[in-house]
Amino acid sequence: MLSQRIACLVTIGVVVLSVVGLPGVAADPTASDGFVIERFDAPETVTAGDTVVVNATVRNTGTEPDSQQIHLKNPDDEIVDSVAGPPLTLAPGETETVRLVWQPTAADIGNGSISVQSDDDYPHRSLTVVAPPPTEMTVGSVNSTVTVGEPLSVPISVENTGETTATPDIWIALNGSTATNRTVSVAPGETVHTELTWMPTADEIGSWRLTAGTDAPTTNPTNATLTDRMVTVVSSASNESDDAASTNEGSASDSSGGVPPNVADRLRAPITDGTATFPGGDIRQVAFAADDVAGDVVATRFKHRPAEVEGLADAVGYYRVSVPEAAADRNATIRLQLSTRTLGTTEGQAIGVSHWNGTAWEPLPTTASATDDGMAISVDTERFSVFAVTVAEPAATTNTPTDDDESAENATEDPGSSSEQPTRAASAAVPFLRVGGGLVLLFGVVGLLMGTRRRFRGA
């Protein structure tokens, strides 16, 4: 009988200890739920003006499907790129690798870090942005007159006076807007001779101020070595009468500089790996779904509504995106960066982008996120023509927040928010409660054993 009691009590003690754990031994931690950035590849050093490509692997460690946006942030903690299109959707345990890019400028030179961020995770990687090697550029002679449809060639020589290989961007600009650009590689002490070519269209008839430079392309060149060289674009004999008769606001030329009077600025960018990137202006990038698209993309910002479209309520800006004919029906994502001055007050308001289909405006799938100086807007489209950005009051709703809604909102707050402190404190207290409970039960088992032993001796 005694042996049975002892065996029973020992069994109870073993079970208790297996549940609560031995004193001083912490229980296995439970992995946090959410979108975890398992890894992301990034260089340790990059030259200002070069492109940083980050490939990040994201895993959903939760128990439910979820959708989140993934961002790339620069050393100033500013969002510089996001996953194109709708937020990333992953099933439990599913992973996906996303590609994010950033082009640091001279203002980013120095030591810092970049981060890939989801709603639940934000790992950092150290990154040093260094200045490019010094270069000198000379520009050859340029024709003062060019005919529509015929190329204007600008010969350029770039000398690397530094001690490391230089990869500067060389560009030509017309009236301050980049017409074309290219990256060249120049070994230390060497000189590269090349040329940039611009093909004017009928919309560009008139006089233009030609500038060129070797710094990163910008709408306001500051380091140009060729300035105030005037180039006049004339029509060919076959279309002179058509040009003279044209009164369309979108193609009429301003006699003072060759820019149509309703055009605020016009930028041109080559398509590289399926993406055209504009370093200035409101439209920053046009990314095609396929990377086999070639040619140039032209982004035009209008001063006011173009004559060929109807007015759109709540519109704050009108734009045209022109792409090569082969890309006219390709899916693409257009990314814009609009300043607070352009948008006005956006708090509590809905930002949208619509496309003119020839007869009416069509709303497009649009996402917007706040930045330090305005809003980053991303819109998906299958057609290219005139686009309008709108800022409107959101639709009224009568839904009353429930306790579940508040709980869900609290659950999505930043990891560093104060609302999580009680949860963390409670989690930290669990091992102590387990240890204390285990000791109490262990002493109880020992006491029962000793009491049984005394009764046995007394018997």
One pLDDT digit (tens) per residue for the chain, 459 residues: 555 555 555 555 554 444 444 443 333 333 357 899 988 888 999 888 788 999 999 999 999 999 999 999 999 999 999 987 788 999 999 999 999 999 998 889 999 999 999 999 989 989 999 887 777 777 877 878 888 888 888 888 888 888 888 888 788 888 777 888 888 888 888 988 888 888 888 777 777 888 887 763 333 344 445 555 778 888 764 334 333 333 333 333 333 344 567 887 788 888 999 999 987 678 999 999 988 888 889 888 888 888 888 999 889 999 999 888 888 888 999 999 988 777 776 677 789 999 998 889 999 999 999 887 788 999 999 888 899 999 887 665 545 555 555 544 444 444 444 433 343 334 344 444 444 555 555 565 556 556 555 554 554
Q: Contacts for 182-191 with beta carbons within 8 Å, 24 or more apart?
A: 182/270, 184/158, 186/135, 186/158, 186/159, 186/160, 187/160, 188/133, 188/160, 188/162, 188/163, 188/164, 189/160, 189/161, 190/159, 190/160, 191/157, 191/158, 191/159, 191/160
Whole-angstrom Cα Rg for the chain:
32
CATH second-level architecture of 134-261?
Sandwich (2.60)
Burial class of residue 326, CB neighbours in 10 A (0-12, 13-18, 19+): exposed
Token pair for residue 66? 């979820």
- Say whether pTM exceeds 0.95: no
* CATH number of 35-130, picked from 3.30.530.20, 2.10.210.10, 3.30.1480.10, 2.60.40.10: 2.60.40.10
Cβ atoms of 387 and 354 closer than 8 Å? yes
Domain 266-396 has CATH 2.60.220: yes
